[in-house]
Chain A
Amino acid sequence: MAASAPIATPPRRASLERVADLVAALVVREFKGRYRRSLLGPAWAVIQPLGYLLTFTLVGHVLNISSEGIPYMLFVYSALVPWTFFSNALARCAPTFYFKAAIVRKIALPREAFPIAEVVGSLVDFAVAGLILAAMMAWYGTPVGWPLLWLPPLVALVMALATAVGFIVSALGTYQFDTVFALPFVTQLWMLATPVMYSLQSVPRAWRGWYRLNPMVGIIEGFRCAAVLDRTPDLWLLAFSIAITAVVWIIAWPLFRFTAKYFADVL
C-alpha cells in the first residue's frame, strides 16, 4: 500500500501541469463518454454544418451571392467549418460548470481547465468537419498550395478567441443560467455579422471599419483564403483579429479568475 511510504509534503505542483492533466482527463472523459451510447456518434459533428450548408446554398442561390469565383458550396463550407467550431465551443462552455457542479462544489481544482477542455474537445468535431471539407475540395478539384500553412496558426487563433470568450460565457453562465439560453441567439447574430455566407468584398466600404472589430472576420476570411482560395490571408485584417483577441483575453482572464473563486458558492 501507499501507506508504507512516509508522508512527505509533495512539492506544490506546477499549476500549468495540473491544468494540462485535468484538461486531458476531461477531454478524454467527454470523448469516450459522449459517443458510446449515441447512434450516429461522430456523425453529429457534420450534421450541423451540413444542415447550414444546404440552407445557405439555397439562400445563396436565391439571392445570387457572389462567391469570388469558386463554387458557392465550397465558399460557404470553408467558413462554416471554423465558425461551427467556434460557436459549438461557446455553447459547450456556457453550461460547463452547471453540469460539473458535483465536482466543482467539492474539490479544489483549477477551474480554467473546464472551459479549456470544452474548447479542446470541440476540436474533435472540427477535425471531422475539416475532413469533409478536404473531401469537397478534392471533389471540386480546388488547387491548394503554400497558403495551407496558414491553417495551423489560424486554428490556434480561433482556439485562443474561443477560450477567452468561453471564459466569459462560462463565468456568466454559472451565475446566470439565462446566458445559456441567450447564447444560441447571440452566436447566430454574430454569424450574420461575420463573412460566412457572403464575402468580405460585399460589405460596404464605409462599414468595414466597424465590421473589422469583430475578431471572427479576420479569422473566417483568413481560413477561407488559405483553404479554398489558395492565397495568403489579408495580414492587416489578421493583425486586427489578433489584437482584438488579445483585448478579449485581457478582459476575460481577470474576470474569470475573480468570479471562479466563488463558483462553489452559487452552484
Chain B
Amino acid sequence: MGPDVVIRMEGVWKRFGLPMPRWLGGAAREEARPWVLRDINLQVKRGETLAVVGRNGAAKSTMLRILAGVTPPTRGRIEVRGRVFPMIEVTGGLHQELTGRENIRLIGAIVGVPRREFARLLPQIEEFTELGAWLDQPIRTYSTGMMARLGFGVGACLSSEVVLIDEALSVGDLAFQNKTLARIRQMHEQGTAIVVVTHSLDTAQFIAQRGVVLEDGRIVAAGSSLQALRAYEQLVFHGRQRRAQASIAAARIYGADGNTAQCVEIGAPFGIEVECRLSRPAGEALFSLAIVNDAGVTCVWNVSAEEGLRCTAAAGKLRLRAWYAENRLMKGHYRVDFAVQDGASFAVMEQLAGVASFAVTGPGRARGVVAMRPRWDLSAADDQPAPEV
C-alpha cells in the first residue's frame, strides 16, 4: 500500500448472511444468495474526497458498511489505514430518556473514543451542536434535527483519517448544514479522506473531487465527480440505452448581481440559468422549469412558450435564463426540474430532475408554501363596522 493510500479495496465481493460450513449444507444455500457487491476495486488517498452515487439498491450503503468494518467482505481484500469515523446517523443508538449530554457520551463510547480524549472533546462537541440548555433535557423532547446534531457533533469534532458520510447532511436546518459542510471541507484540507454516499447531486458536487457510480453492486463509472454525476444522470433518467437529444452542461441559481446564489431571501429577485446542448435543432423549443419543495410539491411550473419565449433552437450550446422578479416562495429547500421538448413533435429531448437547488431564507416564523404577508389589524369589536381595507 502506497504511503498515501488510506483505503484500498481489492476485488471485493459481498453476499449477505452467515457462511455456513459445508457439512451443514452451507455451500448450496450460500450459492442461492445474490451477490450484493461484485468485484469492487477502489483506492482512496489521503485528503481525497470520493462520492459514491447510485440508485436505491445499488449497494452504496453496503459498501460503506464494509469500509466501516461493520460487515466483512465475502471475497477480496480491504485495507483501511487509521481511524475511520462513520458519520452515519447514529440517532438509532440514542436513548430517549437520557439527556443530550449523556447521549453524547454514549455516542463517544459507541464509536470508540477513548475516555480521556473524549473528556477533552466534550466542550467542543457541546459547542458545535449549539443545543445549549437543551443538552440537559431528555432527548425525547428533541426534534429530529436536534437529535441528528448530537451524532454529527461528535463526528465533527474528532480527527480521523477516514470519514464516511451517509446522507447525513440532509439533516438539520440550513445554518447547521452549512456549518457541517464547512467542517467537512476543513477536515478535507487537513488530509482526512472522505467517502460520501449520496444521491443528492449537489452534495456530491460540493464535497467530492472523485466519484464512482454503483449499479447493481458494480462500479459502472468512475472519474471526476462531475463525470460520475453525468454517468449517474444518464443511468437514472435514461436507463442505459436511450440517448438524450439534449444534455445539460450546467445549471445555477443567480441573484440580482448575476452571481450564483445558494440562498434566496423571501421577496428578493432571482433567476434560474440552464446551459444545455441540443444535439439536433428543435422546430419550436419548449423549455419548462419547475420548482419543487422538500415535500415533493411542485410550487412553480413554467413553460417558456406560453410565457413569451417562442423560438426555434438550432443545435448547439444554449443558455436559458428565467428571471423571477419577486420570490414568493416560503422558507425551505427547493430543487429545480428542467425539461426541453420539441414543440413541433412534443418529443421530450431532455428531462432532468434536480438540476439545481436552493434555499429560501427569511425572517420570522411564518411557514407554509407561499410567502404572503397580511396587514394585521386589531380593534375593539363593538357595533362599529369593520374598518375599510
Chain A residues proximal to chain B, CB less than 8 Å? 1-3, 5-10, 13, 17-18, 21-22, 24-26, 28-29, 32-33, 36-37, 100-109, 175, 259, 261-262, 264-266
Which of A2, A7, A109 interacts with B161 by CB under 8 Å?
Answer: A7
Q: How far is the CA of A1 from the CA of B157 in the complex (A)?
A: 7
B190 at interface (Cβ–Cβ under 8 A)?
yes
The reply to whether A1 and B124 contact each other, CB–CB distance below 8 Å, is yes
B321 at interface (Cβ–Cβ under 8 A)?
no
The reply to whether B98 and A109 contact each other, CB–CB distance below 8 Å, is no
Interfacial chain A residues near B160, Cβ < 8 Å: 7
Q: List 5 A-B contacts (CB under 8 A).
A: A25-B105, A32-B97, A32-B98, A262-B17, A262-B19
The reply to whether A105 and B65 contact each other, CB–CB distance below 8 Å, is yes
Interfacial chain A residues near B69, Cβ < 8 Å: 108
Interfacial chain A residues near B187, Cβ < 8 Å: 3
Give, as a whole number of angstroms, the nearest-CB distance from B185 to chain A. 11
Fill in one digit per residue for B125-158: 1 if any A CB lies within 8 Å of its CB, else 0: 0001000000000100000000000000000011
Q: How far is the CA of A22 from the CA of B92 in the complex (A)?
A: 16
The reply to whether A32 and B71 contact each other, CB–CB distance below 8 Å, is no
Given contacts A13-B112, A103-B92, A261-B72, contact A25 B190 (CB under 8 A): no
Q: How far is the CA of A18 from the CA of B111 in the complex (A)?
A: 10
B16 at interface (Cβ–Cβ under 8 A)?
yes
The reply to whether A3 and B190 contact each other, CB–CB distance below 8 Å, is yes
Interfacial chain B residues near A18, Cβ < 8 Å: 112
B186 at interface (Cβ–Cβ under 8 A)?
yes
Fill in one digit per residue for B70-105: 1 if any A CB lies within 8 Å of its CB, else 0: 111000000001111010101111011110001001
The reply to whether A6 and B112 contact each other, CB–CB distance below 8 Å, is no
B258 at interface (Cβ–Cβ under 8 A)?
no
The reply to whether A106 and B109 contact each other, CB–CB distance below 8 Å, is no
Fill in one digit per residue for B361-383: 1 if any A CB lies within 8 Å of its CB, else 0: 00000000000000000000000
Q: How far is the CA of A13 from the CA of B18 in the complex (A)?
A: 28
Given contacts A33-B95, A100-B93, A108-B69, contact A25 B109 (CB under 8 A): yes
The reply to whether A103 and B159 contact each other, CB–CB distance below 8 Å, is no
Known: A22-B109, A107-B86. 18 other contacts (CB 8 A): A1-B124, A2-B124, A3-B187, A6-B190, A18-B112, A21-B109, A21-B115, A22-B110, A29-B98, A32-B97, A37-B97, A102-B93, A105-B70, A106-B70, A107-B90, A108-B70, A109-B110, A175-B18
The reply to whether A2 and B158 contact each other, CB–CB distance below 8 Å, is yes
Given contacts A2-B158, A265-B71, contact A29 B106 (CB under 8 A): yes
Give, as a whole number of angstroms, the nearest-CB distance from A35 to chain B. 9
The reply to whether A25 and B93 contact each other, CB–CB distance below 8 Å, is no
Q: How far is the CA of A262 from the CA of B114 in the complex (A)?
A: 26
The reply to whether A264 and B109 contact each other, CB–CB distance below 8 Å, is no
Q: How far is the CA of A231 from the CA of B209 in the complex (A)?
A: 74
Give, as a whole number of angstroms, the nearest-CB distance from B152 to chain A. 14
Given contacts A29-B95, A32-B98, A105-B65, contact A24 B109 (CB under 8 A): yes
Given contacts A13-B114, A107-B86, A175-B18, contact A264 B65 (CB under 8 A): yes
Which of B81, B86, B97 interacts with A36 by CB under 8 Å?
Answer: B97
Give, as a whole number of angstroms, the nearest-CB distance from B192 to chain A. 6
- Among residues of A, the one whose C-beta sits closest to the C-beta of B160 is A7
B191 at interface (Cβ–Cβ under 8 A)?
yes
The reply to whether B110 and A25 contact each other, CB–CB distance below 8 Å, is yes
Most B CB contacts (10 A, CB to CB) among A8, A105, A107, A266 go to: A107
Interfacial chain B residues near A106, Cβ < 8 Å: 65, 68, 70, 86, 88, 90, 92
B121 at interface (Cβ–Cβ under 8 A)?
yes
Interfacial chain A residues near B97, Cβ < 8 Å: 32-33, 36-37
The 8 closest A-B pairs by CB, nearest first: A102-B92, A25-B109, A108-B69, A103-B93, A265-B16, A33-B95, A264-B71, A36-B97
Given contacts A29-B95, A32-B98, A262-B17, contact A107 B110 (CB under 8 A): yes
The reply to whether A33 and B98 contact each other, CB–CB distance below 8 Å, is yes
Give, as a whole number of angstroms, the nearest-CB distance from B76 to chain A. 15
Q: How far is the CA of A37 from the CA of B19 in the complex (A)?
A: 42
The reply to whether B86 and A262 contact each other, CB–CB distance below 8 Å, is no
Give, as a whole number of angstroms, the nearest-CB distance from B119 to chain A. 12
Q: How far is the CA of A18 from the CA of B91 in the complex (A)?
A: 21
Give, as a whole number of angstroms, the nearest-CB distance from B191 to chain A. 5
Which of A1, A7, A101, A261 interacts with B71 by CB under 8 Å?
Answer: A261
Q: How far is the CA of A28 from the CA of B158 in the complex (A)?
A: 23
Interface hits, B3-34 → A, CB 8 Å: 16-19
B183 at interface (Cβ–Cβ under 8 A)?
yes
Q: How far is the CA of A261 from the CA of B73 in the complex (A)?
A: 10
Give, as a whole number of angstroms, the nearest-CB distance from B135 to chain A. 15
